Structure 1
Amino acid sequence: MIDNLKRLKTFTDERGSLISIEVGNEIPFIVKRLYYIFNTKNLPRGFHAHKNLEQMLICVSGSCDIKLDDGINSKVYKLNDPSKYLYINKPLWREIYNFSKDCCLIVLANELYDKNDYINSYEEYIQFLEENNEYKS
């Protein structure tokens, strides 16, 4: 079962809302990289998995759908609330789509960019899972 949706604590008063994200509390890893996706023209992205990377995905504005697939089960998450995030801590195939015009998706990662960590085809992903005893058919 893929259950990666988490909630951040939100502080709200008459001035608005504030969310604080701290390493060691909400983030279970040291952040080495942060990037964000915006202005997508609603074209799908992703279509890859990572061998080792941990990520925290937060849609701070607008909305998008993220499909996670573990080789057997898949689940689609609608990120449309900046107090919710997806935590990915194992190899999961991901597809990101249905971006709203105002979507801004922030991704925090525990490692710097490494092209060797990417698995860019679904067939390679299944093979990687089988070779690493993570595929349970």
Structure 2
Amino acid sequence: MSLNNIKIIDIPKITDVRGNLSVIENDVIPFNIKRVYYLYDVPSGSYRGGHAHKKLQQLLIAISGSFDVVLNDIHGHQQIITLNKPNKGLLIPNMVWREIEEFSSGAICLVVASETYNEDDYIRDFKQFLSS
């Protein structure tokens, strides 16, 4: 996979004087949802991720605050995307290395995944990833 396959997805936003509501359904993302988790209380200067997936696809959303997603492909290309809007999601296909960093205070990263947890799906060594 290359970084050309990543994209920002607009998540439907229903605006109301009482507050906004966004909905993620299977017609918004190109995979069936099998797992949802979120990252929060990430200490200043820390990062999350540091891996690629052989099969799994993910949608990352900044539910609160902001953070940077550093993406690398096997061709040596890198892209950094800042997420800071709860109605925008970053679709990351399989075989893209990702690291999440620069979490703002109170940031929450919601992750919607195409597969359940499977350790065998992870590539945790960057050199091994580049030689895939």
Shorter-chain TM-score above 0.5: yes
In 2: Cα distance, 1:113 partner to 1:101 partner: 28
Give the fraction of aligned pairs with identical amino acids, expressed as a percent.
39
Structure 1 residue 22 and structure 2 residue 13: aligned? no
Q: What residue in structure 2 maps to residue 73 of structure 1? A: 77
In structure 1, runs of 5+ residues without a counterpart are 129-137
Q: Which runs of 4+ in 1 moved over 4 A?
A: none
Contact 2:35 2:112 in 1 (8 A): yes
Q: Which has the greater radius of gyration? A: 1
- 1:9 deviation in Å? 2.1
Of 82, 85, 89, the match for 2:89? 85
Structure 1 residue 97 and structure 2 residue 101: aligned? yes
Give the counterpart letter for 1:29 in structure 2.
Answer: F
Structure 1 residue 9 and structure 2 residue 45: aligned? no
What is the TM-score of this pair, normalised by structure 2? 0.90
What is the TM-score of this pair, normalised by structure 1? 0.87
- 1:15 deviation in Å? 1.7
- 1:94-131 deviation line (CA, Å, top 9, x unaligned): 11100011111010111111111111111110111xxx
Q: What residue in structure 2 maps to residue 35 of structure 1? A: 37
Aligned length: 127
- 1:45 deviation in Å? 1.3
- 1:44 deviation in Å? 0.9
